Structure 1
Amino acid sequence: MIENPFLPVSRADVERAASRIAGGVVRTPLVPSPTLSERAGQAVHLKLETRQPIGAFKLRGAINAILSLEDAARRRGLVTASTGNHGRAVAYAARELGVSATICMSSLVPANKVEAIRSLGADIRIVGVSQDDAQDEVERLVQTLRLTPIPPFDDVNVVAGQGTIGLELVEDLPDLATVLVPLSGGGLAGGIAVAVKALKPQARIIGISMERGAAMHAAIAAGKPVAVREEETLADSLGGGIGLSNRVTFALCRDLLDGIVLLTEDEIAAGIRHAAREEDEVVEGAGAVGIAAILADKVQLLGPTAVIVSGGNIDPEIHRNLIGRSTR
């Protein structure tokens, strides 16, 4: 495949990221799902990013971005906005490297994710009711304290780090035909699409999001980044906007995704329940959306399929309540 030279992230960027983060992240397993394969009529495999030390894929992009910095920039201290998992990744990497981290989050971030970040020694700032509010605080801290920002998604090194998942998918499943990937700001979907499309041009990359506040879907429909009201959802990690001045992920998702599927809250809940009951996996809402899309018959799978199970950091009480609820 001849890569589009105008896209902001290349296969070479992803390959460099793979070398840089080797040893710092887990090469996660790709496991078959007999129940989903039977339902879909195609071989379905789950890419378990829940196996990362922080329980989510975000560690790949965070470590790549932080290791790409000059030492002086790291030593000034790191800062980021997060819906939970990226903040945990930055806090974890900062602790490993012996530098400070400040994580800005809105009041919509679940308490279990906030406490997990606090336990890693990061400074916590709860600001406003949206990811945009948290990002405003990041920009203030960059200006006033000269902290070094680690963007949650709209950054070449963050995207390249997430894209290493795509390299692993093609290596582990050479006849890969479809990837179902959670879609939020586009760092995960865009990075995987860059890697997979470079190696398997005919493979389809389908972004999966929720009906409540799907910012990238709204942006692609509008042909440009737009403001979207952030709402409470079981897929809380997929919340937040993509930034009106988006430089990286909008173009990647616009040009490389083969479709976007939106899910209801009941459908996401069904995905979480299936993961627990049939796959023996504890999965948060954002991580369950690929499973949910198959269960809801909202995707047509053409050949061997990889479902990105992006994270497992769900509030235990919410998980217990969902698993105890009978399926409709």
Structure 2
Amino acid sequence: MSSLTLADVYRARQRLAGRVAPTPLVASASLTERSGVPVYLKLETVQPTGSFKLRGATNALAQLAQEGVRRVVTASTGNHGRALAYAAHALGIEAAVCMSALVPQNKVRAVAALGARIVIAGHSQDDAQIEAQRLVRKEGYAFVPPFDDARVIAGQATIGLEILEALPDAATLIVPLSGGGLFSGVAFAAKAIRPDVTMIGVSMARGAAMHASLAAGKPVPVDELETLADSLGGGIGLDNRHTFAMTRALIDDVVLLDEASIARGIVHAYREERLVVEGAAAVGIAALLDGRIGHIERQADSSDTAGPIVVVLSGANIDMAQHLRIISDN
């Protein structure tokens, strides 16, 4: 597993101070009523770039800037690229972002608007990764991984610190699961503070690479398919150094959702919580709506309190025309 320490996470929070503000933890009356235990939402949707990715990107670039690095490149399904471009602009660093043709155009435009060089390569996150590595070799960029990097993980882990400081008795954290940077970071910090906290990872059924890798016992390739949870797409890297081992050690359960469930999560967030969220952020809400969180089901046979629950809402960067169609159709 990674050599990441809790001290690294606290140092990351110091680097983020003045650059990335803590996000709200708000009670959800509707989900509390449905679940029978207190439910809170961690609103990473309010970040300036619309997702949690700003934490990891800022932590990584702040350290690279101190080392004299002036050009960085990454591969992204959209949100990490946007965060990297934002952080690079703030630090006066040149940024290039490689994305596949599957990345929604609203996310491509958002990255370009922040001044980053855009490179479209292939039809998968793996294709974008290959192109990013070519730029490292041929043009001298420094590569900033979207998730499998200790600096990036430490930045995302600051979410776990904020949750446990605001809600020390949190019993279950529900976190979107993709490459594992968000999940492993939040789980690492949370379990370092509260070893008994339950960590649930949620993903889409279509192309869930981390789930397939956990089942296989090693990183495996998975076809990247179109999904409402597009930010959760892509592989975890066959040479994964950090997030696979960390996720395997820290995860308590994985929930996979079909597309209809993800759509219901988006609709619920909008109609009941007054929040616009992308599909990847809606998966935690959807898992609760579907009754897929195990300890809630066990509550019927026990008088023990099974909460509070915290759902991490990872991002708001959904194409608004798509959002309107989903809301109208449901």
TM-score (norm 1): 0.96
Cα displacement (A) at 1:70: 4.7
Contact 1:86–1:152, Cα closer than 8 Å, also in 2: yes
Q: What is the CA–CA distance in structure 2 between the aligned matches of 1:13 and 1:317, rounded to whole Å?
A: 40
SS in 1 for 2:145: coil
Unmatched segments (≥5 aa) in structure 2: 297-305
Mapping of 1:75-90 within 5 angstroms?
75=70, 77-90=71-84
Task: Tell me what 2:313 maps to.
Answer: 309
SS in 2 for 1:96: helix
What is the root-mean-square deviation of aligned Cα atoms in Å?
A: 0.9
Q: What is the CA–CA distance in structure 1 between the aligned matches of 2:135 and 2:285, rounded to whole Å?
A: 39
Contact 2:62–2:91, Cα closer than 8 Å, also in 1: no
Q: Percent identity?
A: 59
Determine if the alignment matches structure 1 residue 163 to structure 2 residue 157.
yes
Aligned-partner residue type, residue 50 of structure 2: G
SS in 2 for 1:68: helix
Contact 1:73–1:148, Cα closer than 8 Å, also in 2: no
Q: What is the CA–CA distance in structure 2 between the aligned matches of 1:71 and 1:142, rounded to whole Å?
A: 19
Deviation readout 1:198-221 (Å, 9 max, x if unpaired): 111110010000000000000000
Aligned-partner residue type, residue 307 of structure 1: V
- 1:293 aligned to 274, 287, 291, which one? 287
Task: Tell me what 1:232 maps to.
Answer: 226
Q: What is the CA–CA distance in structure 2 between the aligned matches of 1:298 and 1:71, rounded to whole Å?
A: 45
Q: What is the CA–CA distance in structure 2 between the aligned matches of 1:99 and 1:25, rounded to whole Å?
A: 17
SS in 1 for 2:69: helix
Determine if the alignment matches structure 1 residue 69 to structure 2 residue 73.
no
Cα displacement (A) at 1:71: 4.2
Task: Tell me what 2:24 maps to.
Answer: 29
Contact 1:183–1:189, Cα closer than 8 Å, also in 2: yes
Change (3 A) 1:72 1:13: closer
Q: Which runs of 4+ in 1 moved over 6 A?
A: none
- 1:322 aligned to 323, 326, 330, which one? 326
Contact 1:179–1:305, Cα closer than 8 Å, also in 2: yes
Contact 1:8–1:252, Cα closer than 8 Å, also in 2: no
Determine if the alignment matches structure 1 residue 218 to structure 2 residue 222.
no
Q: What is the CA–CA distance in structure 1 between the aligned matches of 2:67 and 2:200, rounded to whole Å?
A: 39
- 2:277 aligned to 250, 275, 283, which one? 283
- 2:112 aligned to 104, 118, 128, which one? 118
Contact 1:56–1:313, Cα closer than 8 Å, also in 2: yes
Change (3 A) 1:182 1:299: same
SS in 2 for 1:74: coil
Task: Tell me what 2:171 maps to.
Answer: 177
Deviation readout 1:201-260 (Å, 9 max, x if unpaired): 110010000000000000000000000000000000000000000000000100001011
Q: What is the CA–CA distance in structure 1 between the aligned matches of 2:4 and 2:309, rounded to whole Å?
A: 24
Q: What is the CA–CA distance in structure 2 between the aligned matches of 1:213 and 1:299, rounded to whole Å?
A: 21
Mapping of 1:190-229 within 5 angstroms?
190-229=184-223
Task: Tell me what 1:3 maps to.
Answer: none
